[in-house]
Structure 1
Amino acid sequence: MDEWVFWLWEEYSDQIEITTRLLGAALAGMVIGINRDIHNKPIGMRTLALVSLGSAIVILSGSVYEGLHFGQDAVSRVVQGILTGLGFLGAGSILRAKDGTEVQGLTTASTVWIAAALGVTAGLGAWFITVAGTLVTLFLLTYGTRLEKRLIRIFSDNKDPQGADLED
């Protein structure tokens, strides 16, 4: 049995590595998306998983025929293209109130962008960055509002920027 598994790994190691990177990218996007779903935001688990997976696919497609070693110039151009393109998707989730006083959706747009970045890191096989980035993103999405309110209380005499008192 061990010989068969070893042969399988030896024969298909590149394909296994690519599949692992794609799954890692999708998982990172899904984890961020679950947080968005919990908070009833318009972009959720499936969308962010697809954004992250798509970024990893684009990164890997540039290297699959040359093995898993990347040329820095090519990777840089691909990353620039991904992040530029995702700006349009993120912009579509930003809404302005009819009276023009409130902008909504900036955090959702940011999660689209970060999901793409996590897909890039997973596509490159930068596992520590992928995991750490996912955890930091989740921390900010989960506790960022509370932290922001506390900091505003500390630095502005218990008032938010518009002058209203903040409650927990």
Structure 2
Amino acid sequence: MNPIDTDSVFQVFLSEFSDLSDAAEAIRAIVRLLVSMVLGGLLGYERELAGKVAGVRTHMLVALGACVFVVVPLQSGMAMTDLSRVLQGLISGIGFLCAGAILKSDNAMNVKGLTTAASIWIAAAIGVTVGMGHAMTAIVATVFTLIVLRLLRGWKH
């Protein structure tokens, strides 16, 4: 039986946590993840103020998760064509999550949760946008979403 080489074990351990060993790359990833959480949290806070079930934590997690699905492939050097397939899967998965937020009663005219589902969907889009490095676009999209959710709440035909 061979003795365990502690130096080798230590090197393997370090290599498992080396994805953020470059300071600039670490800061970039941390900022993107943090910005996605904050913007998602703003949307969730608005939903909570409106008395909706999907609130701050849900929206933060959706935006953060979407951001992670972009940041990690970009860090690993994935080609944009391959990243587009990741995004296709992400968008489909978010669709299933959103479907769970929609409730329909026996009356076809009584559907609830569509706006919350849409806010979850846009939270994912904002997370992707931040993950791609377009924080300003994500901030503008968040502001526009908050305008739609807050200012247009009572506006119906």
Query: Is residue 29 of structure 2 the alignment partner of residue 41 of structure 1?
Result: no
Query: Is residue 82 of structure 2 the alignment partner of residue 80 of structure 1?
Result: no
Q: Which residue of 2 aligns with 1:110?
A: 118
2:138 to 130, 137, 141: 130
2:23 to 12, 16, 28: 12
Q: Please, which runs of 5 or more residues in structure 2 have no aligned partner?
A: 1-21
2:68 to 57, 65, 76: 57
Identical pairs, percent: 36
Q: For residue 63 of structure 1, give the secondary structure of its aligned residue in structure 2.
A: helix
Deviation at 1:99, TM superposition (A): 3.6
CA distance in 2, matches of 1:31, 1:105: 18
CA distance in 1, matches of 2:38, 2:87: 20
Q: For residue 62 of structure 1, give the secondary structure of its aligned residue in structure 2.
A: helix
Q: For residue 106 of structure 2, give the secondary structure of its aligned residue in structure 1.
A: coil
Q: Which residue of 1 aligns with 2:4?
A: none
Q: Which residue of 2 aligns with 1:89?
A: 97
CA distance in 2, matches of 1:16, 1:29: 20
CA distance in 2, matches of 1:132, 1:100: 35
Q: Please, which runs of 5 or more residues in structure 1 have no aligned partner?
A: 1-10, 153-168
CA distance in 2, matches of 1:90, 1:111: 9
Deviation at 1:87, TM superposition (A): 0.2
Deviation at 1:126, TM superposition (A): 0.5
Q: Which residue of 1 aligns with 2:153?
A: 145
Q: Which residue of 2 aligns with 1:158?
A: none
Which residue type is aligned with residue 95 of structure 2?
G
Q: For residue 152 of structure 2, give the secondary structure of its aligned residue in structure 1.
A: helix
CA distance in 2, matches of 1:41, 1:137: 16
CA distance in 2, matches of 1:86, 1:111: 11
List per-residue Cα deviations over 1:66-106 (Å, max 9, x = no partner): 3xxx6321221121111110000000010012344311100
CA distance in 2, matches of 1:88, 1:103: 17
Query: Is residue 40 of structure 2 the alignment partner of residue 29 of structure 1?
Result: yes
Q: Which residue of 1 aligns with 2:79?
A: 71
RMSD of aligned C-alpha atoms?
1.6
